[in-house]
Amino acid sequence: MSRRSALIGLGAAGLLVLSGCGGAPTSGGPASGEPSAAEAVYTEVTALTGTERRDRLVQLAAEEGNRLSIYTSMNADIADIVVPRFEQEFGIDVELYRADSETILQRTLQEASANFAGADVVETNATEMAIIASEGLTGDYAGEQRDKINEQFRYDGWTPTRFNIFAPAWNTGLVGADLVPRTWEDLADPKYDGILSLEVSDYDWYMTLYTHYQEQGMADADIDRLFADMVQGSKVAKGHSGQVELLSAGEFGVVAASYTYLTEKARAAGAPVDDQPFVEPVVARANGGGLMRSSEHPATAVLFMDWMLADGQGVILENGLTPAVMPDGTDPLAGHEVLPVDVQKLLDEGNEWSARYDEVVRGGEQLPEN
């Protein structure tokens, strides 16, 4: 009996694993179709504006229990300022789950496939947001603040809350005025051999710049040569934050595509790094938020997005990040030539570009070491 029960136990374990495996784990979710209860709320408040909208949302939020669950890849030190401000202003209790963007995506997809209402709002990188939206997991968000955002960045199913900007950064102790890059093409110059660092997974930056050159009428062969020359003699790093630390320490002289907020943070701590004036055109990738269709606190979710795109933007700006819309309603990227990372293209051709960038970066390995 015991042995049989062992087998049954094992079988049951196996069955538990197999159960609900109708589709691939990344597919599924509360498939599109009927509008959800949350969507009804999203539609209802779309028509409202100003204080009327806010009052109604506050009232509904109270009915929902003044609770909210947010999944975000925003760094802790910023999120720990942004979220408490929101909580204090509205007396709402926020559950904040933080992880890297890939993990946010996995968790959201897994929960959706099991019809588990985890997050009310998901806030993360463009690619992951676009996938979540394309899976039909988010509802529509509309409002005055969204309309102020640069048109190039108004996506279906999600709304930018901040930008990550790629720009070269350099160690001011190691790099004299003659080595400060003025254009992206400068980085291909042999004078950067041995001091330039590229990041191993920056294929979105690569894709954007590559497409830009194509649009400028450059031949693919020339663009390939340009990137090959950049890679020539470069040092490849993994992770932007480690890259900036090693830039500060003097291991690298120039980082090709650093996140400007990381450079700024290091500079603020006294590290000898700089990225001003930005090399133009700047490459900008949005991070944004979406309202979940499965949300159990939909009005609270809308209230958060409204606040995030208004007062929240000031907090973002104060803390060294680039907001999606300036507190005075203007475009934070005005005055810069901006290359937006094409999110749809990333979704359609991302793997291809990732593989290509991988090949390009590996061009460095044929070199004799130093």
Partner 1 sequence: MATVTTPPRSGTPSPAGTSAGGGRASIARWRDTLLRPRTLVAVAVTVVVGYLALVPLGYLLLTTFTDADGFSLGGFARAYGDPRIGELIGNSLWFAVGSALLSLAVGTALAYFNVRTDVPFKALFFAASIIPLIIPGILYTIAWIFLASPTIGLLNSLLEPVFGPGTFDVFTVWGMIWVEGLHLSPIAFLFMVAAFRSTDPSLEESALMSGATRVQTFRRVTLPLVRPALLSAALIMLVRSLESFEVPALLGLQNGIYVFTSRIYQVLRSFPVDFAGAGALAVGLLAVAALGIWLSNVLSRDHGGGTITGKGFRPRPIDLGRWKPAVGGGILLYFFVTVLAPLLVLLYTALLPYYRPPSAEAFASMSLDNFVAVFNLPTVPTALRNSLLLGGGAATIVMALMAVAAWVVVRSGIPGRQVLDHIAFSPLVIPGLVLGVGIAFVYLRSPLPIYGTLLILLIAYCTRYLPYGMRYAVSGMQTVSAELEESAQVSGAGWWATFRRVLLPLIAPALVAGWVYIFVVSFRELSSSILLYTPGNEVLSISIWELYANARFGELSALGVIMVLILAVLVAVAYKVGARVGLKSD
Considering only residues 228 to 257 of the shown chain, the ones binding partner 1 according to CB under 8 A are 235-242, 244-246, 248-251
Rounded to whole angstroms, how far apart are CA atoms 72 and 78? 11
* Smallest distance, partner 1 to C-beta of residue 141, A: 23
Three-state secondary-structure class, residue 183:
coil
List 38, 57, 254, 266, residue binding partner 1 (CB under 8 A): 266
213-221, 287-295, 308-316, 360-368 -> range binding partner 1 (CB under 8 A): 360-368
Which residue, among 77, 121, 98, has the nearest Cα to 293 in the 3D structure?
121
> What track of x and - describes contact with partner 1 for positions 339 through 358 (by CB under 8 A)?
--------x--xx--x---x
Question: CA torsion angle for 255, 256, 260, 262 (degrees, to 10)?
Answer: -30
Show contacts with partner 1 in window 44-83 (CB under 8 A): 75-77, 80
Count other Cβ atoms within 10 Å, centred on residue 291. 26
In DSSP notation, 134-154 reads HTT-B-----HHHHHS-GGG-
220-228, 267-275, 289-297, 313-321 -> range binding partner 1 (CB under 8 A): 267-275
> What are the residues facing 69 on neighbouring strands?
95
Instruction: Check residue 2 for interaction with partner 1 (CB under 8 A).
Output: yes
* Smallest distance, partner 1 to C-beta of residue 223, A: 21
List 38, 82, 92, 111, residue binding partner 1 (CB under 8 A): 111
Rounded to whole angstroms, how far apart are CA atoms 22 and 9? 22
List 14, 35, 277, 329, residue binding partner 1 (CB under 8 A): 14
* Smallest distance, partner 1 to C-beta of residue 24, A: 5
List 19, 51, 88, 216, residue binding partner 1 (CB under 8 A): 19
* Smallest distance, partner 1 to C-beta of residue 80, A: 6
Which residue, among 343, 103, 335, 361, has the nearest Cα to 233 in the 3D structure?
361
289: left (phi over 0), alpha (psi -120 to 50) or beta: beta
* Smallest distance, partner 1 to C-beta of residue 38, A: 19
